[in-house]
Structure 1
Amino acid sequence: MPAYYSQPAAANYSTPPAHSQKQRGYRICDQCGQVETPVARFRLCGGCMVTQYCSQECQKVHWPHHKTICQHTTSQIASIKQQAVGGFSNDENIAKNLRKFCSAHTSLLCWVGFQALQLKRVPSNIRQHVLIIDLAPHSHPEGHRRFSVVSTRIVKRSYIGDPLVLADIQRRDDRCRHNGGIGALVVLVQCAGISQVMPIEVDPPSKIAWDTREDWASVLHHFVESGRTDFQPISTTARGVYYG
């Protein structure tokens, strides 16, 4: 029997799709932990095009820690480009658009992963499980809208076999716990054999007022299919309901 909710999962779930509204989502500087705002835009690492920084200074300070995983990611991207140049594959475009997809939907993917792994009830799941989101490509002028959600599933973290990627996740795990969080939530977005790993550092559930939801999969479909990047979860507190 489907669960009934008196409030929708998102503050703006029932509003028309805001196609003209371009947001970059919830980003954290990988060096200092600062959160991106509409005023202070972050920069992506020019090598891996995944890790983000609030300033060039933070990027320079973090380079010795980031160098290994950056060069590993860059080599994988270069390998995909070589296949594409040879005319054998369009994987280069898929990889590029997956990065755009994850960047545009960071807030949504963080909330979906939190709900799927039931971190409000069982915080220890963050160290054991990964949420996989399988996508299918389709044509659209905007890069982040070139995918549809096919399925979602939860697997053991050991599913990720790349030792360098696992080491980077462990580094984020350790840093997050050192700062009082519960660890790095891992969301793996994949399409046509190409994957994008998203480790998202999570505060203790006691500091997160998001309601526990079981309709996260339908919410994911709704926002991805409509192309909306303005997801704002509803939270219920003793002082009432608030958004974001």
Structure 2
Amino acid sequence: MATAYYSQPAAANYYTAPTSQPHKQRGYRVCDQCGAVENPSATRFRLCGGCMTTQYCSQDCQKLHWGSHKPICQHTASQLSGVKQQPMSSGYPDENLAKCLRKFTSAHTTLLGWAGFQALQLKRLPANIRQNALLIELNPRNHADSHRRFSVAGTHVVPRSYIRDPLVVADIQRREERCRQSGGIGTAVIIIQCGSVSQVMPVEVDPPSKISWDTRDDWASVLHHFVESGRTDFKPISTTSRGTYYG
């Protein structure tokens, strides 16, 4: 399948919402217990309330996975509590920076995962997934909506060694092994950071032959647009032999 390039914005819903149904493929959330892929148009997966990074398709899967998830969950929760006294800004003295960052990441999951896919050029160079990560630097801003309390300060492709927490690294490796066993190429890592607080977002990725998302070089401007406008309905363009669809 040839890669498609467009002069218009990288998502058909840049200005208006898409009318077609999103395709079910990796790049959305994957249930950490059963491996099911999220279909956002039908049911949104639940995030673990402790770490706000691991996702599940059901409460049953969450309960079944707790035994293996407990160490990294408690570790992440303890790190978050360590920055509990860091306010996001003077306009929100009661708000926790880490909590707001988790809410932001959750609200923009599809957009952030897509940006990581494009920044690492995984359709052209899938081996990049093992070496690099996308770092998204944010600045706090005053806003009543939790998903609009940050603006994008900059984006950088950094070595995976940027992440030095051994438990986080081990959790990423676990996801990679699971992804490759099921035919994927590994786990794309997106690091969302504001000051000294960061959130690591792993995204399991299908092999290039199964990836229908179009390759885009204007991903950074699209990321800025959706974050600054506060839109959480981002859908990427996918071109297949059956036509073009969004999601």
What's the TM-score, normalizing by structure 2? 0.86
Q: Which runs of 5+ in 1 are unaligned?
A: 17-24
Quick one: which amino acid aligns to residue 8 of structure 1? P
Match of 2:232 in 1: 229
* Contact 2:141-2:151 within 8 A present in 1 as well: yes
Counterpart residue number, 1:34: 36
Contact 1:133–1:187 (Cα < 8 Å) also in 2: yes
Identify the residue that residue 158 of structure 1 maps to in structure 2.
161
1:191 aligns with 2:194: yes
Equivalents in 2 of 1:90, 1:123: separation in Å?
43
Structure 2 partner of 1:106? 109
Pairwise mapping of residues 1-244 of structure 1 onto structure 2 (< 5 A)? 5-15=6-16, 26-37=28-39, 38-81=41-84, 93-244=96-247
Aligned residues: 230
Give distance in 2, aligned partners of 1:220 and 1:139.
Answer: 19
Letter in 1 for 2:128: N
Deviations 1:162-185 (Å, cap 9, x if unpaired)? Answer: 000000000001000011100010
Provide the secondary structure at the position in 1 that maps to 2:103: helix
Contact 2:135/2:157 (8 A) holds in 1: yes
Instruction: Among all aligned residue pairs of Structure 1 and Structure 2, give the percentage whose two residues are the same amino acid.
Output: 72
75-84 or 194-203, larger mean C-alpha shift: 75-84
SS in 2 for 1:206: helix
Residue pair 1:91, 1:194 contacting (<8 A) in 2 also: no
- Cα distance in 2 for partners of 1:57, 1:5 equals 43
Q: TM-score, normalized by length of structure 1? A: 0.87
2:22 maps to none
User: What is the rounded CA distance, in whole Å, between the counterparts of 1:126 and 1:181 in structure 2?
Assistant: 11
Deviating more after overlay: 155-164 vs 40-49: 40-49
1:71 CA displacement: 1.0
CA shift for structure 1 position 82: 5.4
* Contiguous gaps of at least 5 residues in structure 2: 18-26
What is the CA distance between 1:83 and its match in structure 2? 6.1
Go from structure 1 to structure 2 and tell me whether the alpha carbon gap of 1:91 and 1:152 turns closer, same or farther (over 3 Å shift).
farther
- Aligned amino acid, residue 161 of structure 1: R
In structure 2, do the counterparts of structure 1 residues 54 and 39 end up closer, same or farther at CA, with 3 Å as the change threshold? same
After TM superposition, give the deviation of residue 130 of structure 1 in Å.
0.5
- Give 1:26 deviation, angstroms: 3.7
Q: CA RMSD in A?
A: 2.3
Distance in 2 (alpha carbons) for counterparts of 1:120 and 1:41: 26
Partner Cα separation in structure 2 for residue 173 and residue 226 of structure 1: 33
Alpha-carbon separation, structure 1, partners of 2:123 and 2:62: 33
Deviations 1:113-145 (A, max 9, x none): 111000011101001001000000000011111
Structure 2 contact 10–236 (Cα < 8 Å) conserved = yes
Q: Give the aligned residue type for 1:111.
A: W
Is the Cα–Cα contact under 8 Å of residues 80 and 91 in structure 1 kept in the other structure? no
Output the amino acid matched with 2:34. C
